[in-house]
Structure 1
């Protein structure tokens, strides 16, 4: 059985090396870009005076999570797996010393996860862990959780504002008496309702800031409608303000447009909603520190730079062969990175599975004349000129190392156990390894004390 090196061993061995010398395919992160995106987001929510909850499911590392939360006075997170939460425990415990800290398990609750989540909550303390509810049959699980954790769960009710992945529509939020049953759970001391939660990725198909902002507006309005139509159930005898948590990266980063120019109709409407004194809005997003070809293609933020400046994640691969001598109808190259290393996610902005960076090969990496991953197999891919019209030779050589910007950072990252970190602020070529960050990967339990079998 293969054994994996520890993070300390990886750091000792790789820090200081040129990335061309690391095993490939490899996932490379430019921390300078990540820092900039995180700082921009934190400044945006501060200026707009709205809440913020950072999703960790894209990167699955405490290092980026720490950058996401920065000096925000409240440290709220979301995770998609219990392992992600377990990996975050040391960071969460550190943040708890200086500010309120909470992490949401962002999947509607299932019974198999209760012992593990309860162990985490017991370790972190009351109000540290939140759960997602969208069906009345999930409510008995809350009593089991509270008993094992020693404290009630904070909960969000999942609202479906049009994406149809999970949740209830605003008009049917009280499915089979769900809201009355939540009130009963509160009275019994097994739950505490934080608010409503919507996550809509419809904005991934957009191509302008206005479209992205319109999707955020729709989410806020959907949750507002849910609050208003169910106020007699949600707010009955409750002297508190419920949170509306909304977002996905394109529409959340679109709020940055309000700091630049809010002259368009969508910007004015969005600003009005965010300033509504009757709404307690919390924005949530995950892939924004890293970005990818999908995110850039949404053009959610006016004036965003080129992909070389904005996408922090690239996949390092070697050129296996080059077909420049008439072997095929057009010149192509074969690289040793395929579906597993890059992901097989399409992108509305172009026809391809990744874009080859200009790193160490010249060119600007944007506009005409781009090299793209044109065809893809499990372990290898074909690189060609974008559009299929270029007859000129491919400017690559056998053995050359290239960087490829993937379409979807979340899916691409799943292949890798760790990231090699570079810093273009320190090294303009972004070629020297300055750190190694290990990802939470799979479903293994990282801390024996959290093993539900020890309950």
Structure 2
């Protein structure tokens, strides 16, 4: 039996451009380019107005195309975060192009250093140029591996020390930042020339439990304060005479910062946050400190993100979430064969993920796309899921019939776009500004897999 070959991006592009998303093999991931563009433009205006740095995470989408949109963010430096080596390889042409144009460019490998990955990180950095790759440290035993980096590149590795400000996924609490002499060993390595400390980094997803913009601001304020405590406590061990960065954020925390610009928010939380962003360490004259915000999910969003209400005045979730999963209805149970009416769709845990959402009990919400819903009707949700199937029911548990038919194509907004997207090799792209129905495929974006970017078809389109 011949092996099954995945199509190239060129083949996907020529096969599907101009077609309707209802006609693609399902389940499939769909992105609305217009929504993504709108979110990226909003971020640019906010970063420029606040005068802070910005670092864009690519782990949600893993695409060259959205990374390019994130680059235009109002920060004169091109800065990314990646969770995998493949994501960094995907970003390689962008970083190298920025360097060639004499623009600062850097990607942070966004988990505490994985020693076996140092050789490949060093190869990429050597090709892109000095200061192009940063790593994250939270244990002194990680530091010696950076000498290998220097031996390949002949320039120092850029380093952030990871601070745990309460999320407890990775990092060190402020009082323990010098664990087993970590900061002292970093200082020694910097004197020897094979490490350069950039600053402190915190990433807290505690804000996913927020319900208002002010609550999200409290989480961002807490992150900044945690990093300030760490910096002030360990200042004697930190480099002097240059700017250090406090990098903080997650999509809800960063989304709430839009309120500081767009709505002129005057809440106590907003006033405190504005002051921190302007001057995070006024009490400290020994070192210059700049705030850098970071976020990754913001161009796409999902049910979990919009439930935080972190940006005041946001539209309906159907206008804010750029990703849907298209799926086909394979059965309907409206004839009292079950306790309540239900329908079966051919998309389950693999296609939607199994991430809960704070504001409703399901695993995805059906879009009104091509369904003609009564605006006052309850929502249809994916009420239960198994590996390849989802069971659709009314959110409120009402007993009316499910208005779906066998063979009908539906769109589902996932709870967590990062997890849902992981099942798919590419996205079918629509543009609701060009096509109000959001159904015509205008592009196909392959998720980063490193070698795909050597495809001549791709490179001619990305130039």
TM-score where L is the length of structure 1: 0.95
Supply the distance in 2 between the matched residues of 1:71 and 1:217 (Cα, whole angstroms): 22
Supply the distance in 1 between the matched residues of 2:307 and 2:321 (Cα, whole angstroms): 11
The answer to whether the 8 A contact 1:345-1:408 is kept is yes
The 1:364/1:171 distance shift into structure 2, 3 A limit, reads farther
Please name the residue that 1:183 is paired with: 187
The answer to whether the 8 A contact 2:329-2:404 is kept is yes
Which of residues 396, 403, 406 is equivalent to 1:387?
A: 396
Deviation, 1:447, is 8.1
The answer to whether the 8 A contact 1:42-1:69 is kept is no
Task: State whether structure 2 residue 309 is matched by structure 1 residue 299.
Answer: yes
The 1:364/1:119 distance shift into structure 2, 3 A limit, reads farther
1:366-386 deviation per Cα after TM superposition (whole angstroms, max 9, x unaligned):
x75100000000000100000
SS of 2:166's partner is: coil
Q: Which moved more, 1:143-152 or 1:186-195?
A: 143-152
Deviation, 1:123, is 1.2
Equivalent positions of 1:38-437 (< 5 A) are 38-70=40-72, 72=74, 73-96=76-99, 97-235=101-239, 238-259=240-261, 260-276=263-279, 278=281, 279-363=289-373, 368-388=377-397, 390-437=398-445
The 1:364/1:63 distance shift into structure 2, 3 A limit, reads farther
The 1:271/1:321 distance shift into structure 2, 3 A limit, reads same
Q: Which moved more, 1:323-332 or 1:369-378?
A: 323-332
1:330-389 deviation per Cα after TM superposition (whole angstroms, max 9, x unaligned):
110000000000000000011100000000001277x7510000000000010000022x
Aligned residues: 442
Please name the residue that 1:19 is paired with: 21
1:74-94 deviation per Cα after TM superposition (whole angstroms, max 9, x unaligned):
110000000001011112222
The answer to whether the 8 A contact 2:43-2:73 is kept is no
Supply the distance in 2 between the matched residues of 1:277 and 1:291 (Cα, whole angstroms): 29
1:161-194 deviation per Cα after TM superposition (whole angstroms, max 9, x unaligned):
0000000111111111111111111111111000
Supply the distance in 2 between the matched residues of 1:84 and 1:349 (Cα, whole angstroms): 32
Give the superposed CA RMSD. 1.4
The answer to whether the 8 A contact 1:351-1:387 is kept is no
Supply the distance in 2 between the matched residues of 1:41 and 1:121 (Cα, whole angstroms): 28
Supply the distance in 2 between the matched residues of 1:94 and 1:148 (Cα, whole angstroms): 21
Supply the distance in 2 between the matched residues of 1:446 and 1:421 (Cα, whole angstroms): 18
Deviation, 1:445, is 6.2
Supply the distance in 2 between the matched residues of 1:257 and 1:364 (Cα, whole angstroms): 32
Please name the residue that 1:452 is paired with: none
Deviation, 1:17, is 0.4
Supply the distance in 1 between the matched residues of 2:4 and 2:104 (Cα, whole angstroms): 40
The answer to whether the 8 A contact 1:83-1:446 is kept is no
The answer to whether the 8 A contact 2:165-2:173 is kept is yes
Supply the distance in 1 between the matched residues of 2:279 and 2:176 (Cα, whole angstroms): 24
Supply the distance in 1 between the matched residues of 2:114 and 2:19 (Cα, whole angstroms): 44
The answer to whether the 8 A contact 1:131-1:154 is kept is yes
In structure 1, the gaps of 5 or more residues are 449-455
Deviation, 1:149, is 2.5
Supply the distance in 1 between the matched residues of 2:227 and 2:175 (Cα, whole angstroms): 10
Supply the distance in 2 between the matched residues of 1:322 and 1:22 (Cα, whole angstroms): 22
Supply the distance in 2 between the matched residues of 1:387 and 1:192 (Cα, whole angstroms): 56
Supply the distance in 1 between the matched residues of 2:264 and 2:332 (Cα, whole angstroms): 47
Deviation, 1:3, is 1.4
